[in-house]
Structure 1
């Protein structure tokens, strides 16, 4: 029997109360699980999921109408960060297993994570010290599905959840999340193939209509042109061929990178889509490079807006003259390809590097860097209100940008606290609603904790600009957490500080309680 089925049977027989206490839950697992049903890493991960209270907010999201797969991603992201930056796919698996055990999550979601997470024997033990820098797990996500020429049989197991991210209407991107304009992002069929198809169809139709008379005359004369002696393809002036040699590409797309052709091969011109004047697609070692020149700034802006979404796993920078977007599927919790997009408003051009197969975001970024791009990855907090928030009790110069953990975050950074043993993450949400959901999660953790702080406060006045403050010790006594936020217009910022030695007093002493 699979592990998730064992847990569901336990909940059915003994009630969901066995998932309320981490210590008791570990004892139950040790008693009932056979050696081949779970590794120590599996058990540690599930126990941590109980200890950090994954089930309560997961159930609330689903009961509130959230899609179970999306709710599992959110719960897994929080568990990964609570454990000090652990692998999100493994943490989402643990959230899915607990959700399935209480009947909130369907088996298909559990199976998705069972097939995409690292082998259970590779899972790390619970974090007991400062988190190591984020690194992708040894096992990559499955490659994205490809379009085959003929239908393929349906897989035995349910396919991975791939519902597109839907951004709230107040996000900068267009409602509906990533929704490229017509012709953007999907290569149309080449002109050569389309012309050949039309000629074959016309020739067949001609034979049927005239009963072979004209076809026979053409065959006897040796003339392979259509009646009238004129080739359809040559009836009008031909457009000049697009020069796709490396030197030509480097010259035309120099506003994007000084050596855009680095590592490219098999470059071909594609038919431009709506608002596009030129499209070139090349192969690179990590996947594909797609270059687009737009008809005007409006078309470029539409393409940029469609691309810069706020799903988990993103790193974005929009300086108006140039924009950069990265997506890491490991952190985002999807099987979508790793991706880097950047553009130039003055040149009205963009480039997209899309990974294929097992290509990780680090590999795709390395390909991006090899072109000597005109834009660089952001390394520090960017939003002015977030920088103001950080400077209240930390030095913003000691904060480093990283890809986001949660859907709806515009940016996230890891900050040096200035104190040994204290790790800090800060971030900004696009909307007040998203920030308040984060506050509600930490408030629940505070209410359920075994040790509560309260030596510090966070005050910016009453009403819409007020902020939250929660300091608590987890059930095991191993992790102390301090959460604070600023519900100010255009900020919606939060901070989370942790001490993995369980020193809550140290956290609250570090916190500037007189602010």
Structure 2
């Protein structure tokens, strides 16, 4: 019997109350599951899903009309952050299994996540040490915005995750930023939680993992016929066209010599074809006058020249989005966009896009196969691009928010964790053991969903901090403030936000030593 079916039978026999207590639940699993049904890693995941309260928000999202697959993805993102691990696909699987056990999630969703996640090792994944946060790899969401032509195209630094489903809103429907212990960034390194964080019982002696990720690759060969046209009478052929014709618009003649490409696209990079090979002309689409595609070590490079500024602006707008896993910089003259599928929790390729409005050109590096965002970014930097990755908080209202009780110069940009965030950064708190993330949402609704999540965690916590509402200056309350200690005593969390016009900003600080007093002591000392 499959593990998710076994859990459903347990709930049917004993009631959903067995999912209320993590320690008791682990005991039940140890007693009833055979070694070929689950590894120690599987059981650790499921127990953590119970311990971090996955079911309540998952049920709320689904009952509120969210698609079960999207709700499972959101619950998985939060669980991965709460655990301090770096496997969002596995956390989504655990969320799906519990949801199935109580009748909220269909079996098809469980099987989808099961087949997409790697086999468990029997241990929690090691905490991530980079500011960029834990890499997440889950099956692609069911309704991501369609990716622009040629490639698909929204930090941890946070533990208990907040509110943000890939579509803005309700407490769990608009990917807002959630904390996750294991990858709290530093300017360029990262924070590794203390050894005790996320500790689990020693692994049991069990058989091989039953959840083996399987992938079936299908190769479809598409053949196209080209009819050669032989001139039987006088008349020269158009030197600007290929002699062979095919259906659809013809590909204009383009000089694909590397030196010529470098010269034409010098407004984007000074060494555009560095590391590139096999460059060929492609068929321009609507609003495009030239397309060149090259092979690079990580995948492909696609260069486009547009008919006018309006066409480039439209292409930029289609590319830049706020789904989880993005880094976006747009100063109107130039724009840069990065997408990390591990952070975003999809199987889409890693992407780096940049453009120049003055030159009316854009470039896209798209990873293939196992190419990571770091590898694609390396390809990007090797071209000596004219556009730089953002390194600090950009939005003026967010910078104002940070400066209220921190030094904005200590904050470093990182890719986002939840859809709806326009940007996210990790900041140095100035106090040992306190890790901080700040960010901004595109809408007030998303920020309020985030606040509702933390308010719920605060209300459920046995050990609460100051709580209540934090007021900025005089008059009506404009900010939320909640501090609490998790039930295991491992992590103390302090959340605050500023509901000011055009801000929709939040901050989350953690003590992974479980020191709530230190956390709240840090707040006023810097405020």
TM-score (normalizing by structure 1): 0.80
Q: Would you say 1:196 and 2:196 are equivalent positions? A: no
Cα distance, 1:122 vs. partner?
Answer: 6.2
Cα distance, 1:126 vs. partner?
Answer: 8.8
Cα distance, 1:430 vs. partner?
Answer: 0.5
Q: Is the 8 A contact 1:178 1:309 kept in 2?
A: no
- Runs of 5+ unmatched residues, structure 2: 152-222, 243-251
Q: Is the 8 A contact 1:44 1:125 kept in 2?
A: no
Q: Is the 8 A contact 1:141 1:358 kept in 2?
A: no
* Matching of residues 61-210 of structure 1 within 5 Å: 61-84=61-84, 86-121=86-121, 123-124=123-124, 133-134=131-132, 160-165=139-144, 177-178=145-146, 180=148, 184-185=149-150, 196-197=226-227
In structure 2, how many angstroms separate the alpha carbons of the residues matched to 1:178 and 1:370? 29
In structure 2, how many angstroms separate the alpha carbons of the residues matched to 1:433 and 1:325? 24
Q: Is the 8 A contact 1:464 1:487 kept in 2?
A: no
Residue 33 (structure 2) aligns with: 33
Post-superposition Cα deviations, 1:374-396, rounded to whole Å, max 9, x if no partner, equal: 11111111111111111111111
Query: Aligned with 1:303: secondary structure?
Result: helix
In structure 2, how many angstroms separate the alpha carbons of the residues matched to 1:19 and 1:131? 32
Q: Is the 8 A contact 1:401 1:411 kept in 2?
A: yes
Query: Aligned with 1:468: secondary structure?
Result: strand
Q: Is the 8 A contact 1:89 1:330 kept in 2?
A: no
Q: Is the 8 A contact 1:90 1:123 kept in 2?
A: no
Query: Aligned with 1:272: secondary structure?
Result: coil
Cα distance, 1:358 vs. partner?
Answer: 1.1
1:426 to 435, 438, 449: 438
Post-superposition Cα deviations, 1:333-389, rounded to whole Å, max 9, x if no partner, equal: 111111110101110000011111111111111111111111111111111111111
Q: Is the 8 A contact 1:329 1:335 kept in 2?
A: yes
Q: Is the 8 A contact 2:85 2:124 kept in 1?
A: no
Q: Is the 8 A contact 1:313 1:405 kept in 2?
A: yes
Residue 394 (structure 1) aligns with: 406
* Matching of residues 458-477 of structure 1 within 5 Å: 458-460=470-472, 466-477=478-489
Post-superposition Cα deviations, 1:72-107, rounded to whole Å, max 9, x if no partner, equal: 222222222223363322222222222222222222
Residue 24 (structure 1) aligns with: 24
Post-superposition Cα deviations, 1:1-41, rounded to whole Å, max 9, x if no partner, equal: 23222222211221222222222222222222223332333
Post-superposition Cα deviations, 1:161-200, rounded to whole Å, max 9, x if no partner, equal: 45342xxxxxxxxxxx4464xxx438xxxxxx98935x68
In structure 2, how many angstroms separate the alpha carbons of the residues matched to 1:81 and 1:360? 20
* Matching of residues 271-286 of structure 1 within 5 Å: 271-286=283-298
Cα distance, 1:264 vs. partner?
Answer: 1.1
CA 1:365 to 1:458, structure 2 compared with 1: closer, same or farther past 3 Å? same
Residue 155 (structure 2) aligns with: none
In structure 2, how many angstroms separate the alpha carbons of the residues matched to 1:369 and 1:436? 38
Query: Aligned with 2:35: secondary structure?
Result: coil
Query: Aligned with 2:457: secondary structure?
Result: helix
CA 1:407 to 1:237, structure 2 compared with 1: closer, same or farther past 3 Å? closer
Cα distance, 1:506 vs. partner?
Answer: 1.2
Pairs aligned (count): 447
User: What is the root-mean-square deviation of aligned Cα atoms in Å?
Assistant: 2.8
Residue 293 (structure 1) aligns with: 305
Q: Would you say 1:493 and 2:505 are equivalent positions? A: yes
In structure 2, how many angstroms separate the alpha carbons of the residues matched to 1:105 and 1:57? 13
TM-score (normalizing by structure 2): 0.79
In structure 1, how many angstroms separate the alpha carbons of the residues matched to 2:4 and 2:389? 40
Query: Aligned with 2:37: secondary structure?
Result: coil
CA 1:60 to 1:135, structure 2 compared with 1: closer, same or farther past 3 Å? closer
CA 1:378 to 1:236, structure 2 compared with 1: closer, same or farther past 3 Å? closer
Q: Is the 8 A contact 1:481 1:497 kept in 2?
A: yes
In structure 2, how many angstroms separate the alpha carbons of the residues matched to 1:421 and 1:358? 35
In structure 1, how many angstroms separate the alpha carbons of the residues matched to 2:134 and 2:302? 25
Q: Would you say 1:265 and 2:257 are equivalent positions? A: no
Residue 421 (structure 2) aligns with: 409
CA 1:462 to 1:78, structure 2 compared with 1: closer, same or farther past 3 Å? farther
Query: Aligned with 2:71: secondary structure?
Result: helix
Residue 15 (structure 1) aligns with: 15
Q: Would you say 1:380 and 2:359 are equivalent positions? A: no
Q: Structure 1 residues 34-43 or 432-441, which shifts more? A: 34-43
- Runs of 5+ unmatched residues, structure 1: 143-159, 166-176, 187-192, 201-223
Cα distance, 1:464 vs. partner?
Answer: 8.1
CA 1:456 to 1:12, structure 2 compared with 1: closer, same or farther past 3 Å? closer
Choose 1 or 2 for highest CA Rg. Answer: 1
Post-superposition Cα deviations, 1:459-513, rounded to whole Å, max 9, x if no partner, equal: 1369986211111111111111111111111111111111122111111111128
Cα distance, 1:439 vs. partner?
Answer: 1.2
Q: Structure 1 residues 303-312 or 52-61, which shifts more? A: 52-61
Query: Aligned with 2:524: secondary structure?
Result: coil
Q: Is the 8 A contact 2:290 2:304 kept in 1?
A: yes
Structure 1 or 2: more helix by fraction: 1
Cα distance, 1:125 vs. partner?
Answer: 6.0
Q: Is the 8 A contact 1:109 1:161 kept in 2?
A: no
In structure 1, how many angstroms separate the alpha carbons of the residues matched to 2:467 and 2:262? 60
Q: Is the 8 A contact 1:412 1:425 kept in 2?
A: yes
Query: Aligned with 1:337: secondary structure?
Result: coil
CA 1:325 to 1:134, structure 2 compared with 1: closer, same or farther past 3 Å? closer
Residue 50 (structure 1) aligns with: 50
Post-superposition Cα deviations, 1:187-245, rounded to whole Å, max 9, x if no partner, equal: xxxxxx98935x68xxxxxxxxxxxxxxxxxxxxxxx547xx478x9479748721001
In structure 1, how many angstroms separate the alpha carbons of the residues matched to 2:294 and 2:134? 26
